[in-house]
Structure 1
Amino acid sequence: MGVPEFLEVQPNDGFGTLLPLETVDLDLIFSARKAREYRFTLTCRSGINRDFPLACRGLGVRPPLELSHHTVRFGATALGDGAVATLHLSHPGSKGPRLFSFSPPQEAEISVVPRDGRLLPGEKCLLQVSFQPRLSDQQIREEAARIAHRAVLLRRQELERSRAEKAPGPQELPAGKNGKNGPRPSAKAATSAKTKVKQSPIPEPEALASPRPEDIQEGSEAYEAGRAALLYSFPGRLRRYVVPCFVSDGDLPADDPQAQAAWSPQNTLFLELHCPAVQPPLVVISNNGQNAIDFQQAALGQKVVHKLTIQNISKESLDLRSSLLDPGGPFLLLNALRRLPPGGRFPLLLAFCPALGKRHCETLEVKCRGMTLEVTLRGEGVEPLLTCCCPGGPAVGAGSGGGPLDFGYVLQKEGAASRVLKLKNRSSVEVCYSVLQASLGPPSTEDRLAVLLQGYPESRPIVGPQNHSGLCVFSVTPAGGAVGAGESQDLTVSFQPDHPSVRYADRLTVELFNKTVVCELDLRGACVSSTMYLHGGDTLGGPPQDYLPQPGPRSPQLPGPSTPVLLTLKADPHADRGPQPAVRELTVGCIRQAQPLKKNGEFHWDGLTALQQRGFSIEPSRGTVEPGHTRVITVSWTPPSGHKPYEVVQESASLTLKGDETEVYQVTMLALASTSDSPEANQERG
């Protein structure tokens, strides 16, 4: 009786019932209003009006630091959500710096930032007190164990019922014609019946044991079932925390950094927190109930999409809205939020598309009335490293161009040739790629320019002639896909012409999903109708008759029409070591057929006498070529004595190739002395 306002008696404000031989502990909480000494008497009155006086004495002191609020009452906060209160800690005195340290209870749902610090006289410190209600790990494990125990009990009942149904009962023998029991079953039949029973044993109910709470693993299916059960049946709770703030008597000594500050219990401040927790209206039902998505590693430019499903477990419809993610960041929310009815589910489609090779982390807030669900997004961008190994060459890195891929000469009537390229993924993530061909896209600027510059050696277009059938001359399989981390992928490039031509061409480009070029290869190939072919000479961009003089009457011994070939030779008569001849080379080849030839291919020149008189020399003039091999023919020209500069020497000769067919090439040689750098030529021009 007569409890003063600065004193509190707990529990139940000092009221209660005391049974015989029972002892009850009472807490007297003294909260001084002023810095002075308090003397007062408490009276405990029993039910028969007996008074028991208790003399009390207390001393109120003024702490060196002051809190702006000693009591914080948080609003109703849903599990998984959070609330933040802001207050100040000030130093109103003038007796030097003071150290402070908050000590919240262990495993509490509250936190104080900053927990420790140092205040100078007249200084203030901003404090943030956070309340984040959570289900304790022990609660979840115990609920999961209860759920598993109920499942075990149900299973035991089912087993006992099954054993009772299959248990053999008293069997009656069928009656015979005279009313007596029929013959007993044979021993073989009884043994067969026992064997059938042994083939389908029923486990003993006692063999099924219930798991203990400590046996439940975090993240397991049982653990998440326990968490979900607690969330769906959470009744709400109110907890009260008292957080002490210890204040030092002074500052740390400057001459001894290892010394400890002196702390006095009279300087201690107390912060009282009232923390009500309620059932959350929104819960995560996918991703094992976790509201954090880890996209792991992803290649730069690649988009990885994850789905997070949330459910409304309240009795009211919820209008969902979200916070804004960084517009320049890698995370995206792909779908719009909508109104969610009670019990409704909604999938959040979240994408991760990194542009920088580093770790990323953002928080997406899904808001509704009464709760803010925070979804943590994490991921790491990795630079993709895909190399292309060309036949006969080194690996080509990303962004580099490769050399030409020449298929050589193929026989028209025998089909195609193929080569294999190897893609190697040297990064730690899966890399997607695609293969592009210039012939399947619009004409490039280089091709348009090559049409205008026909006849020049540098004007060869990227895309050459196409098949008459409409099918691609060059094809690649596969045309795209993904290469796992550290794995390889083979690309098969096929050359399938359907008519003779020596100018088949295309460009193959391997690109990543972010348009990064891995390698660029120029594809080349030629198709002939005979096993023997001639390679070399100057490029003829138009009809041969536009560039070469008309040949004379064909010799009766030359079978079929001749194919014109142009060779231009330039000699330097003013070299340091004397006149140097001009040299050009032609290559004669023989294609290896599926059915080997019985003899080698042959070639020979006709009309060499006139060439030798004009200074031309051809070696060898005749010979044979084995299938699958080539021979080089060297054509040289040495200016004869008395040759005038700028005088063009023109001669022609016939080259005959004999394989499965006989082909004749009319080779026209144009030779001149190049004197552009000589002083005599300059005087002559002047």
Structure 2
Amino acid sequence: GHGVMPNTVCSVGELLDMGYVVAGSTVTSTVKIENTSTLTLPFSVQLESLSPTRERDRQKIPSFLTSSVQRAEIVGTQNYSGFSVFSISPTEGKIEAGKSQDFVVTFSPDHESLYYSDHLKILLFGKQTAHEIHLKGAARDHPMFVEGGVPLDVPVESLAVTSPVASQNTPGGGKVPPLSLLLLLEYVEGSAEPARAEITVGAMQSPLLAAKKAVEFSLDNAAELQRAGFALDSARGVLERGQLKRIGVSWVPPADLQTSDPPLVSALLTVKGNITESYGVLFMARVVSAS
């Protein structure tokens, strides 16, 4: 006789990003596994958050108390309710030779967080890991979001259950304290192309939200940014529900640039929906060698 390798092909790569949803809602995504071998493959799935060793691992020092170099957290924020924020169906079965199996991944966050994540393993014969997929998603209480750059906050929630700042300080809808992110642009020395980066502003659509006015955004301090060599595609705009707007930023070093003192300019990005949110954006640029 001769051995046969159990080969499979997965429709997604190492990451499945479920995107932004409104807290309390549910979205799904489909992962297809194709059996390209000549034998029937029994499969099962595992979520890291449901691992038997998960409780033991949680007795360790929380990752937000360790340095970023030491962090290896693959299970992020979980639901307050105790129900899994990610689920997958089916959890076991068989894939016939030459056939494929659809797996439905469900994302159901019950509170606001940007750091929902889990790790999915698809096993063959109960022990052989065929595919590993990192799952991530984010939830907001309000129908708008901003992403891009490097968030300047703690990337893991503390163990305490606290009420969102917005609900504490914004009765009837008002301003919330500024959030911060860093936008780093690196210009390659001697290049004909400017350094580029972008910020994305989004307006979510959800049956949980009343169809209210559009989401508006504006970025101030344009004159100072221009003096430092930064150019913006658009400093303001209006989004209907379900739309995204990418604010492109480019940078070419000004002729009088002192390389020992790279430009650092701050600007306030204001996003208005059913509440007003402010984001402090730090624009940092530097020249790097081509090597």
Question: Is TM-score (shorter-chain normalized) higher than 0.5?
Answer: yes
Q: CA deviation at 1:598?
A: 5.0
Aligned to 2:83: 471
2:43, 2:126 within 8 Å by CA — same for their partners in 1? no
1:571, 1:638 within 8 Å by CA — same for their partners in 2? yes
Instruction: For residue 49 of structure 2, give the secondary structure of its aligned residue in structure 1.
Output: helix
Residues 312-337 of structure 1 deviation map (CA, whole Å, 9 limit, x = unaligned): xxxxxxxxxxxxxxxxxxxxxxxxxx
Residues 497-525 of structure 1 deviation map (CA, whole Å, 9 limit, x = unaligned): 12222222211111012522222111121
Q: CA deviation at 1:479?
A: 1.7
Q: CA deviation at 1:470?
A: 2.3
Aligned to 1:256: none
Higher Cα radius of gyration: 1
Aligned to 1:646: 260
Counterparts of residues 626-645 of structure 1 (less than 5 Å): 626-645=240-259
- Count of residue pairs brought into register by the alignment: 266
- Distance in 2, matches of 1:427 and 1:529, equals 46
AA aligned opposite 1:513? F
Aligned to 1:612: 226
- Distance in 1, matches of 2:182 and 2:279, equals 10
2:21, 2:139 within 8 Å by CA — same for their partners in 1? yes
Aligned to 2:158: none
Matched, 1:665 2:279: yes
Aligned to 1:533: 145
Distance 1:625 1:433, change over 3 A: same
Instruction: For residue 111 of structure 2, give the secondary structure of its aligned residue in structure 1.
Output: coil
Counterparts of residues 382-461 of structure 1 (less than 5 Å): 383=4, 385=6, 387-390=8-11, 402-413=13-24, 415-426=25-36, 429-441=39-51, 442=53, 452-454=66-68, 461=73
Q: CA deviation at 1:641?
A: 2.6
Counterparts of residues 239-388 of structure 1 (less than 5 Å): 358=2, 383=4, 385=6, 387-388=8-9
AA aligned opposite 1:567? L
Instruction: For residue 150 of structure 2, give the secondary structure of its aligned residue in structure 1.
Output: coil
Matched, 1:568 2:179: no
Distance 1:654 1:412, change over 3 A: same
User: Which is bigger in relative contact order (C-alpha 8 A, separation at least 6)?
Assistant: 2
- Distance in 2, matches of 1:479 and 1:465, equals 22
Instruction: For residue 499 of structure 1, give the secondary structure of its aligned residue in structure 2.
Output: coil
1:604, 1:623 within 8 Å by CA — same for their partners in 2? yes
Residues 555-609 of structure 1 deviation map (CA, whole Å, 9 limit, x = unaligned): xxx823111111122234x4054xx533211111111222673543221112323
Unaligned runs of at least 5 residues, structure 1: 1-356, 359-381, 394-401, 544-557, 678-686
Residues 611-650 of structure 1 deviation map (CA, whole Å, 9 limit, x = unaligned): 2232222220111223222111012233323221121322
Distance 1:581 1:429, change over 3 A: closer
Instruction: For residue 627 of structure 1, give the secondary structure of its aligned residue in structure 2.
Output: coil
2:18, 2:136 within 8 Å by CA — same for their partners in 1? yes
Distance 1:669 1:460, change over 3 A: farther
- Distance in 1, matches of 2:199 and 2:205, equals 20
- Distance in 2, matches of 1:616 and 1:436, equals 47
Aligned to 2:202: 589
More strand by share: 2
- Distance in 2, matches of 1:484 and 1:405, equals 25
Q: CA deviation at 1:453?
A: 4.4
Distance 1:482 1:627, change over 3 A: same
Which deviates more, 628-637 or 595-604? 595-604
Identity %, equivalent residues? 35
Counterparts of residues 214-229 of structure 1 (less than 5 Å): none
RMSD across aligned C-alpha pairs, in angstroms?
3.2
Aligned to 1:125: none
Unaligned runs of at least 5 residues, structure 2: 156-173
AA aligned opposite 2:265? E
1:647, 1:673 within 8 Å by CA — same for their partners in 2? no
- Distance in 2, matches of 1:570 and 1:643, equals 14
Matched, 1:674 2:288: yes
Aligned to 1:512: 124
Distance 1:514 1:560, change over 3 A: closer
Distance 1:581 1:485, change over 3 A: closer
- Distance in 1, matches of 2:126 and 2:85, equals 28
Instruction: For residue 610 of structure 1, give the secondary structure of its aligned residue in structure 2.
Output: helix
1:531, 1:661 within 8 Å by CA — same for their partners in 2? no
Aligned to 1:524: 136
- Distance in 2, matches of 1:423 and 1:568, equals 38
More helix by share: 1
Distance 1:621 1:459, change over 3 A: farther
Distance 1:638 1:483, change over 3 A: closer
Aligned to 2:94: 482
- Distance in 1, matches of 2:85 and 2:142, equals 19
Match of 1:601 among 203, 210, 215: 215
Residues 635-686 of structure 1 deviation map (CA, whole Å, 9 limit, x = unaligned): 2233323221121322211111122332111112222333586xxxxxxxxx
Distance 1:653 1:386, change over 3 A: same
2:145, 2:203 within 8 Å by CA — same for their partners in 1? yes
AA aligned opposite 1:560? V
Match of 2:115 among 503, 517, 521: 503
1:645, 1:675 within 8 Å by CA — same for their partners in 2? no
2:175, 2:275 within 8 Å by CA — same for their partners in 1? no
Residues 233-288 of structure 1 deviation map (CA, whole Å, 9 limit, x = unaligned): xxxxxxxxxxxxxxxxxxxxxxxxxxxxxxxxxxxxxxxxxxxxxxxxxxxxxxxx
